[in-house]
Structure 1
Amino acid sequence: MKNDIKQTSILLFEKKGFSDTSIQDIVETVGVTKGTFYYYFISKEQLLMDIHMGYIDDLLERQGRIRQNQLSNRQKVEELVALLITDIADYGPNGKVFFREMRHLREDHVIQVKQKREKFRKNLEDIISKGIAQQEFRKELQPEIIAFAILGVTNWSYQWFNPSGEISADQLAHVYCDLIFNGIV
């Protein structure tokens, strides 16, 4: 039931926004009472925090598996780009809520989410640094800036990418990797 409430809320938050979705909207859509909601969540904000933590923890876990693979650093970057883009196809509403609705979290919750987001970025930065050290990437690159750039390109895709549109998630990931590794010249 907790997962049903969470998944329904994600869809409602994506459609109506966090502020315009009431607990009543959630329980009516799920078909439960407010008591059931409050059994699992103490507030709508705590539900939003649960959504955020679940999302970033899942990304960190999957990123960790990529980092542990015996792949080149370039392949790891390619896998991470693919992870972030295919995630839109698999969990698009969740990602939209994650990026758009964080402003509704309490400050202490924002800090917790930002720490995990920073960990994800630092892990990517570490892969880039290792790639430079192992001469897979140009030595003059600035790993922090490159990590921000990769995350900026991939994360912004939540705003416009339609996985059932003309280009697939795999194709978009390939386009992004080509841009990252080869530029436009």
Structure 2
Amino acid sequence: MVARGEVDGAPDARGRKPSRKRQTRRAQVLEVAARMFHERGYQTTTTQEIGAELGLLKGSIYYYISSKEDLLFELIEQYHEETRGYFEAIVGSDRPPVAKIRELIITSTAHTARHLSRSSLFYTEWRALSEERQQVILAERERHEKALISWIAQAQADGDVRADVDPKLTALAIFGMVNSVYRWFRPDGRRSAEEVGEAFCALAVDGLLVH
């Protein structure tokens, strides 16, 4: 299991705080691993190749990680933590349901586009994790799905969203659109991450509203 203290600077099990040099080096390991998993695929990328990319001697990478799966899980968990941040803020706001739907689409799209390597791992490589760890990923996704379904249903009750809309099917369609961004978005493309989010929002929400 990855020692979390090695990431955030907290003391390890023996009460020792990792040096700044080790923390910096370990952050580099995570960054290179995310890029290589994204470019080559998790299964075909070895820890030795990650180490070689960083100029580490054979086997030295295990000074910074415990296993390849732990490395993947930590990268996905980092992405989770970031999404939890904006998701909880939207859930906790007192804005009306339609406004929450708009904000979730725009923010999720932009976040996915700005973090292509980690988002691709989040959406494609999570199945390489153990069943127990997969359940962590699925539980988080279910929370997002249930929240969006409830906002759509509330907006229908308020008379803002069409009554013939199926909340669950609509939620799945929205997430399918947002989650596809990692496949094709390019930072040097003609639209920014935020502009893509705004365009998705217009496509999805405008079609739901009662006119």
Bin the TM-score by the shorter chain: 0.7 to 0.9
The offset of 1:136, in angstroms, is 2.3
Report the identity percentage: 27
Q: 1:134 aligns with which of 154, 158, 165?
A: 158
The gaps in structure 2 that reach 5 residues or longer are 1-24
Q: 2:167 aligns with which of 131, 143, 147?
A: 143
How far apart, CA to CA, are the structure 2 residues paired with 1:126 and 1:115? 17
- The one-letter code sitting in structure 1 at the alignment partner of 2:108 is L
Q: Does 1:63 pair with 2:63?
A: no
The offset of 1:143, in angstroms, is 1.7
Find the structure with the greater CA-based Rg.
Answer: 2
How far apart, CA to CA, are the structure 1 residues paired with 2:98 and 2:118? 28
Q: 2:51 aligns with which of 27, 39, 62?
A: 27
Is 1:73–1:136's contact at 8 Å kept on the other side of the alignment? no
Deviant stretches of 4+, over 6 Å: none
Residue in 1 that maps onto 2:107: 83
When residues 30 and 176 of structure 1 are mapped into structure 2, their CA distance, relative to the original with a 3 A threshold, is same
The residue correspondences of 1:1-185 to structure 2 (distance < 5 A) are 1-32=25-56, 37-183=61-207
How far apart, CA to CA, are the structure 1 residues paired with 2:158 and 2:137? 32
- The one-letter code sitting in structure 1 at the alignment partner of 2:201 is C
The gaps in structure 1 that reach 5 residues or longer are none
Aligned to 2:115, what secondary structure does the other structure show?
A: helix
The TM-score normalised by the length of structure 2 is 0.78
Identify the structure with the greater helix proportion.
Answer: 1
When residues 122 and 94 of structure 1 are mapped into structure 2, their CA distance, relative to the original with a 3 A threshold, is same
The TM-score normalised by the length of structure 1 is 0.88
How far apart, CA to CA, are the structure 2 residues paired with 1:118 and 1:36? 38
The offset of 1:33, in angstroms, is 5.0
The offset of 1:81, in angstroms, is 1.0
The offset of 1:34, in angstroms, is 6.0
Q: Which has the higher contact order (CA 8 A, sep 6+)?
A: 1
- Considering only aligned residues, what root-mean-square deviation do their CA atoms show, in Å? 2.1
